[in-house]
Amino acid sequence: MKIRGAIVSLIVGAALALGGCSAGGNGATNSSSASPAAIEVEEQLVTVDVRVARSLLDQSGSLTDEEIVAGAREKGIAAVVDGDAVVYTMTKPQRDEMLAQMRSSAQDAADELIADETNWVTGVEFNDSMTSFEVSVDGHRYGALESLLALGFYVQGALYQQFNGVAPDDIDVIVDFIDDATAEVLDSGSYQEMRANLEQ
């Protein structure tokens, strides 16, 4: 299914910056199974501690603790494996660079989606904090399957916000699908609504 592939592409794009911390560049993973509290950020005076669920970095379980630590060291970042999590310690400029990489990966995934003529997406815009995505579509061809793309945008925005230190309960991502001819909002949803539905 083309839509499913597009969703996976969006999610992988969101995880690229995180996966870049693991050894060998093979850590980019599908992070759809990550819990909202998978990443916690602790601000300090000079450095930032980022606690990342190991499943975000190595879903296949193929990396050893040593490989994860060595991969971080190659990027000038300290890492400690703590059970099911990895705690990265980095400077704030390093964290800012990773956030920029996440935004860039999200833009690359959006550009790929727009270029794919098997779907009806004609444009994607998102704000700097990745709390809002506006997805322009061909209204005459838009259908229910396209609305599933929201899942990929939810993961992108939620990962970015978690990495940026937003408390898990405060994270939200709004996705609007907009007719590119009439500017009518055809469908709208949010990350928090999705979480609430999954908990029911």
pLDDT at 7: 56
Tens-digit pLDDT profile for residues 99-140: 998 899 999 999 999 999 888 999 999 999 999 999 999 999
CA angle 180, 182, 183 (to 5 degrees): 65
- Cβ atoms of 177 and 196 closer than 8 Å: no
Residue 135 lies inside a defined structural domain of this protein:
yes
Residue 145 lies inside a defined structural domain of this protein:
yes
Residue 114 lies inside a defined structural domain of this protein:
yes
pLDDT at 181: 96
pLDDT at 184: 97
Domain around 145 = 96-199
Residue 139 lies inside a defined structural domain of this protein:
yes
Residue 43 lies inside a defined structural domain of this protein:
no
Residue 177 lies inside a defined structural domain of this protein:
yes
Tens-digit pLDDT profile for residues 39-65: 666 655 588 887 776 765 675 788 899
Tens-digit pLDDT profile for residues 150-200: 988 988 888 788 778 777 778 899 999 999 999 999 999 999 998 888 777
Residue 1 lies inside a defined structural domain of this protein:
no
Residue 153 lies inside a defined structural domain of this protein:
yes
- CATH code assigned at 116: 3.30.300
The number of distinct structural domains making up the chain is 1
pLDDT at 188: 95
